[in-house]
Amino acid sequence: MAQTKEKPIGKVVHYFTEIKVAAIELSDALKVGDTVHIKGHTTDLNQKIDSMQIDKESIESAKKGESIGIKVDDHVREGDEVFLVE
């Protein structure tokens, strides 16, 4: 089996509990369809990006420096690191 590579692409800056959305500040590009791995002290979540938003507007891709919101399947925490699974 091929070894999966992970590349750091951002950090969780906020988690909206009631709507299960993580606000992520990107240090690299990300697009719908990508898989991310969110990792922290108590967080270990692999997830495919089904949708992303900036200021409540749906987008297909985001670039370095942008802050996005993505729906997550599990609780994530501020400071968790976000990796792109390649």
Task: Tell me which amino acid residue 22 is.
Answer: A
Global confidence as pTM: 0.93
Q: Is 15 helix (H, G, I), strand (E, B) or coil?
A: strand
Predicted confidence (pLDDT) at residue 3 exceeds the cutoff of 90: no
Give the pLDDT confidence of 21-71 residue by residue, as tens digits: 999 999 999 999 999 999 999 999 999 999 999 999 999 999 999 999 999
CA distance 24 to 13: 6
φ, ψ for residue 30 (rounded to 5)?
Answer: -150, 145
The answer to whether the CB of 69 falls within 8 A of the CB of 23 is yes
Top-confidence residue, 1 or 38: 38
Predicted confidence (pLDDT) at residue 1 exceeds the cutoff of 90: no
Which domains are seen in the chain, by residue range?
6-85 (2.40.30.10)
CA distance 24 to 15: 9
Task: Tell me which amino acid residue 81 is.
Answer: E
